[in-house]
Structure 1
Amino acid sequence: MTQSPISNALSIVHPLTLSHGRNALVWDSEGKQYIDFVGGIGVLNLGHCHPGVVAAITAQAQKLTHSAFNAVPHEGYRQLMSALAAFIPLSYPLAGMLTNSGAEAAENALKIVRAATGRSAVIAFDGGFHGRTLATLNLNGKVAPYKQRLGALPGPVYHIPYPSPDTGVTADEAFAAIERLFSVEIDIAEVACFIFEPVQGEGGFLAMDPSFAQGLRSFCDANGILLIADEIQSGFGRTGQRFAFQRLGIEPDLLLLGKSIAGGLPLGAVIGREALVNALPKGGLGGTYSGNPLACAAALASLQAMTDSNLACWGETQEQAILRRYERWRKQAISPCLGRLTGTGAMRGIELRTADGKPGTQQLAALLENARNKGLLLMPSGKNRHIVRLLAPLTIEPELFEKGLDIFEECLAAIR
Structure 2
Amino acid sequence: IGALAVGHCPPQVVQALQQQAAELIHMCAIVATYEPYVRVCELLNEVAPITGEKKSVLVNSGAEAVEAAVKIARAYTGRQAIIVFEGAYHGRTNMTMAMTSKYALFKKGFGPFAPEVYRLPFPNLYRTPLGMTQEEYIEWSINQLENAFIAQVDPSAVAAIVIEPVQGEGGFLPTPPRFLQRIRELCDEHGIVMVADEIQSGFGRTGKLFAVEHYGIQPDLITTAKSLAAGMPLAAVTGRAEIMDAPHPGGLGGTYSGNPLACVAAINAIETIRQPSFLQRAEAIGLRLRQHLERIQADNALVGDVRGLGSMLVMELVLDRELKTPAPEQTLQISAEALKRGVIAIRAGLYSNCIRFLPPLTITDAQLDEAMDVVAEAVAVVQSGV
Q: TM-score, normalised by structure 1?
A: 0.87
Specify which structure has the higher proportion of helix: 2
SS of 1:271's equivalent?
A: strand
Mapped contact 2:159–2:193 kept (Cα < 8 A): yes
Cα distance in 1 between the residues matched to 2:26 and 2:265: 14
1:335 aligns with 2:300: yes
1:133 aligns with 2:93: yes
Name 1:352's counterpart in structure 2: 317
Mapped contact 2:59–2:235 kept (Cα < 8 A): yes
Mapped contact 1:241–1:308 kept (Cα < 8 A): no
1:76 aligns with 2:36: yes
Q: Displacement, 1:150?
A: 2.5
The amino acid of 2:87's aligned partner reads: G
Mapped contact 2:73–2:160 kept (Cα < 8 A): yes
Mapped contact 1:52–1:302 kept (Cα < 8 A): no
Gap regions ≥5 residues in structure 2: 129-133
Name 1:245's counterpart in structure 2: 212
Q: Displacement, 1:164?
A: 4.4
SS of 1:371's equivalent?
A: helix
1:120 aligns with 2:80: yes
Cα distance in 1 between the residues matched to 2:157 and 2:34: 39
Cα distance in 2 between the residues matched to 1:99 and 1:145: 25
The amino acid of 2:50's aligned partner reads: L
Mapped contact 1:98–1:290 kept (Cα < 8 A): yes
Cα distance in 2 between the residues matched to 1:307 and 1:96: 17
Matches within 5 A, 1:311-330: 311-330=278-297
Cα distance in 2 between the residues matched to 1:133 and 1:146: 10
Cα distance in 1 between the residues matched to 2:223 and 2:32: 25
In structure 2, the CA distance between the partners of 1:323 and 1:285, relative to structure 1 (3 Å rule), is: closer
Matches within 5 A, 1:44-83: 44-83=4-43
Name 1:109's counterpart in structure 2: 69
Question: Per-residue displacement from partner, 1:203-243 (whole Å, max 9, x unpaired)?
Answer: 11100001111121111101111100000000010111100
Cα distance in 2 between the residues matched to 1:129 and 1:118: 25
Matches within 5 A, 1:118-197: 118-168=78-128, 170-197=137-164
Cα distance in 2 between the residues matched to 1:327 and 1:127: 24
Question: Per-residue displacement from partner, 1:91-139 (whole Å, max 9, x unpaired)?
Answer: 1210121001111111111111111101100110000000000000011
The amino acid of 1:191's aligned partner reads: V
Matches within 5 A, 1:146-295: 146-168=106-128, 170-295=137-262
Cα distance in 1 between the residues matched to 2:127 and 2:276: 32
Identity of aligned residues (%): 38
Cα distance in 1 between the residues matched to 2:56 and 2:290: 37
Question: Per-residue displacement from partner, 1:318-337 (whole Å, max 9, x unpaired)?
Answer: 22212322333344xx2221
Q: Displacement, 1:371?
A: 0.7
Mapped contact 1:42–1:259 kept (Cα < 8 A): yes
Mapped contact 1:237–1:306 kept (Cα < 8 A): yes
Q: Displacement, 1:89?
A: 2.4
Mapped contact 2:347–2:356 kept (Cα < 8 A): yes
Cα distance in 2 between the residues matched to 1:91 and 1:179: 27
Mapped contact 2:311–2:359 kept (Cα < 8 A): no
The amino acid of 1:180's aligned partner reads: N
Name 2:131's counterpart in structure 1: none
Gap regions ≥5 residues in structure 1: 1-40
Question: Per-residue displacement from partner, 1:331-370 (whole Å, max 9, x unpaired)?
Answer: 4xx2221110121111110111114631111111111111
Cα distance in 2 between the residues matched to 1:218 and 1:229: 14
SS of 1:124's equivalent?
A: strand
Cα distance in 1 between the residues matched to 2:15 and 2:74: 40
Q: Displacement, 1:167?
A: 4.4
- Could you say what the CA RMSD is over the residues aligned between the two structures, in angstroms? 1.4
Q: Displacement, 1:313?
A: 2.4
